[in-house]
Structure 1
Amino acid sequence: MLTRLTPTPPARAPVLPTMGLMLVLPITASGGSLGELKGMSLEELADLQVSIVSKRPERLADSAAAVYVLTEEDIRRSGYTSIPALLRLVPGFSVARMDSAEWAITARGFNGRFANKLLVMIDGRSVYTPLFSGVFWESFDTLLEDIERIEVIRGPGASSWGANAVNGVVNVITKHAGRTEGTLVSGYAGDRERGLAGRQGGAIGETGYLRLYAKHEDRLPQKGLADGSDKDDLSGDRVGFRGDWDLTPADNLSLWGDLFSVDSHDPWIDGSDLMLQWEHARDSGAGDTLRISHDRFEMETATSTDDASIREDLDTFEVEYRHRFAPVRRHDLNLGLGYRWYRSLIEGSEVRAADPAERSFELFSAFVQDEIALVPDRWYLTLGTKLEHNDFTGFEIQPSLRARWNPRPDSTLWAAISRAARTPSRGEYDLVGVSTVVAASPDTQWMPLIARFTGEDRMNSERLIAYELGYRWRPAPVLGIDLALFHNDYDQLRTLEYSDLRLELDPSPRWILSVTPDNLLKGRTYGLDLVVDWRPGASWRLQAWYSLMGMDLNPVSGSTDPEGVALAGRYPRQQAGLRVGVDPRHDLELDLYLRFVDQLPDFDVDAYGELDARLAWRLDPRLTLALVGRNLLSPSHLEYGVETLGSTPHEIAREILLRVEFTY
Structure 2
Amino acid sequence: MSAPRHILAFALLGSSLPLQAQSLGDDPLLGELKLPTVLSATRLKQSPAEVPGSMTVLDRQLIRASGARDVPELMRLVPGMMVGYRSGNQMNVNLHGTNISEARRMQVLVDGRSVYRPGFATVEWSAIPLAIEDIERIEVFRGPNTAAYGANALMGVINIISRHPRDYAGTTLKYTQGDRGVSDWYGNQHFRLAQSDWRLSLSGVADDGFDLLEPGVEYRDSRQLERFNLSGAFNITHQQTLELQLAASHSKQQYYYDYEPYLKALRPSRDTLGAYDYAIAEHNPDSDSQISDYSLQGLWKNDINPDHSVQILAYAQQMNREQAWRACDSPIVFIDELKQLYDLNPTAARRVSKFLEYADAAYDMRTAMQISLGSEYTAQLGALGEAIKQARNGYRNSEPVCWDIDHNMEENRIHLEVQDTLRVNDQLRLMSGLSYRYDRATSETFFGGTVENHIVQGFGNLEYRPHARWLFQLGGMLEDDRLIGTSFSPRIAGHFFIAPLHSLRAVYSEAVRSPDMYENNAYWSYPIKNASGPVPANPEYYATGIGPGDLEQERMRAVELGYHGNFSRQGVSLDVRFFQERIDNMNSEPLKITDFYPNNNSRVEFRGGEAEVDWRLGYADRLRLTYAHIVYDASSKLDERLTPRHSGSAGWIHEWPAGFTSSLFYYGADELNERRFERADLRLEKRFELSASSALSLALTWQERLDDEALTWDENLYDSQSQYYLSAELSF
TM-score (norm 1): 0.82
Judge conservation of contact 2:187–2:201 (CA < 8 Å) in 1. yes
Provide the residue aligned with 2:222 in structure 1: 233
Provide the residue aligned with 2:430 in structure 1: 333
**How is 1:33-112 mapped onto 2 (pairs within 5 angstroms)?**
47-112=35-100
Indicate which of 182, 185, 198 corresponds to 1:196. Answer: 185
Deviation at 1:651, TM superposition (A): 4.7
SS in 2 for 1:457: coil
Indicate which of 424, 427, 430 corresponds to 2:518. Answer: 427
Rounded to whole Å, the distance in 2 between the matches of 1:398 and 1:301 is 38
Does the C-alpha gap of structure 1 residues 108 and 194 become closer, same or farther in structure 2, counting only changes over 3 Å?
Answer: same
Indicate which of 591, 616, 628 corresponds to 1:547. Answer: 628
Q: Which amino acid aligns with 1:155?
A: G
Deviation at 1:187, TM superposition (A): 1.8
Rounded to whole Å, the distance in 2 between the matches of 1:544 and 1:233 is 33
1:486-518 deviation line (CA, Å, top 9, x unaligned): 10011101143999xxxxxxxxxxxx9653211
Provide the residue aligned with 2:723 in structure 1: 655
Q: Which amino acid aligns with 1:584?
A: W
Judge conservation of contact 1:201–1:212 (CA < 8 Å) in 2. yes
Within the alignment, does 1:359 sit opposite 2:451 as a pair?
yes
Does the C-alpha gap of structure 1 residues 298 and 650 become closer, same or farther in structure 2, counting only changes over 3 Å?
Answer: farther
1:589-611 deviation line (CA, Å, top 9, x unaligned): 110101111124xx4x4213110
Rounded to whole Å, the distance in 2 between the matches of 1:105 and 1:186 is 27
Does the C-alpha gap of structure 1 residues 434 and 608 become closer, same or farther in structure 2, counting only changes over 3 Å?
Answer: same
Q: Which amino acid aligns with 1:269?
A: I
Judge conservation of contact 2:710–2:717 (CA < 8 Å) in 1. yes
Provide the residue aligned with 1:396 in structure 2: 487
Name the Cα RMSD after superposition: 2.4
Within the alignment, does 1:258 sit opposite 2:214 as a pair?
no
Q: Which amino acid aligns with 1:198?
A: G
Q: Which amino acid aligns with 1:516?
A: Y
Does the C-alpha gap of structure 1 residues 170 and 325 become closer, same or farther in structure 2, counting only changes over 3 Å?
Answer: same
Rounded to whole Å, the distance in 1 between the matches of 2:594 and 2:204 is 44
Rounded to whole Å, the distance in 2 between the matches of 1:514 and 1:628 is 44
Provide the residue aligned with 2:354 in structure 1: none
SS in 1 for 2:152: coil
Judge conservation of contact 2:76–2:649 (CA < 8 Å) in 1. no
Provide the residue aligned with 2:421 in structure 1: 324
Within the alignment, does 1:152 sit opposite 2:140 as a pair?
yes
1:147-171 deviation line (CA, Å, top 9, x unaligned): 1111001101111101110111000
Judge conservation of contact 2:245–2:296 (CA < 8 Å) in 1. yes
1:79-113 deviation line (CA, Å, top 9, x unaligned): 11112222222222111234321112111221524
Rounded to whole Å, the distance in 2 between the matches of 1:519 and 1:606 is 28
**How is 1:434-583 mapped onto 2 (pairs within 5 angstroms)?**
453-474=545-566, 477-496=570-589, 515-554=596-635, 564-583=636-655
Within the alignment, does 1:406 sit opposite 2:524 as a pair?
no
Q: Which has the higher helix share?
A: 2
Q: Which amino acid aligns with 1:481?
A: L
1:603-656 deviation line (CA, Å, top 9, x unaligned): 4x421311011011122261121111123546x7422137xxxxx645596311
Rounded to whole Å, the distance in 1 between the matches of 2:96 and 2:597 is 26
Judge conservation of contact 1:99–1:652 (CA < 8 Å) in 2. no
Does the C-alpha gap of structure 1 residues 433 and 358 become closer, same or farther in structure 2, counting only changes over 3 Å?
Answer: closer
Does the C-alpha gap of structure 1 residues 66 and 373 become closer, same or farther in structure 2, counting only changes over 3 Å?
Answer: same
Rounded to whole Å, the distance in 1 between the matches of 2:563 and 2:723 is 38
Q: Which has the higher strand share?
A: 1
Question: How many residue pairs are counted as aligned between the two chains?
Answer: 571
Indicate which of 109, 114, 121 corresponds to 1:126. Answer: 114
Rounded to whole Å, the distance in 1 between the matches of 2:591 and 2:562 is 42
Provide the residue aligned with 1:9 in structure 2: none
Judge conservation of contact 1:200–1:211 (CA < 8 Å) in 2. yes
Does the C-alpha gap of structure 1 residues 302 and 547 become closer, same or farther in structure 2, counting only changes over 3 Å?
Answer: farther
SS in 1 for 2:601: strand
Percent of aligned pairs sharing the same letter? 25
Rounded to whole Å, the distance in 1 between the matches of 2:641 and 2:229 is 41
Q: Which amino acid aligns with 1:494?
A: N
Judge conservation of contact 2:128–2:249 (CA < 8 Å) in 1. no
Provide the residue aligned with 2:411 in structure 1: 314
SS in 2 for 1:538: coil
Q: Which runs of 4+ in 1 moved over 6 A?
A: none
Does the C-alpha gap of structure 1 residues 485 and 274 become closer, same or farther in structure 2, counting only changes over 3 Å?
Answer: same
Rounded to whole Å, the distance in 2 between the matches of 1:301 and 1:113 is 19
Q: Which stretches in structure 2 are left out of the alignment for 5+ residues?
A: 1-31, 256-288, 328-402, 527-540
Larger radius of gyration: 2
Q: Which amino acid aligns with 2:550?
A: R
Within the alignment, does 1:626 sit opposite 2:694 as a pair?
no
1:307-329 deviation line (CA, Å, top 9, x unaligned): 34311111111100000113235
Rounded to whole Å, the distance in 2 between the matches of 1:569 and 1:46 is 43
Rounded to whole Å, the distance in 2 between the matches of 1:569 and 1:582 is 36
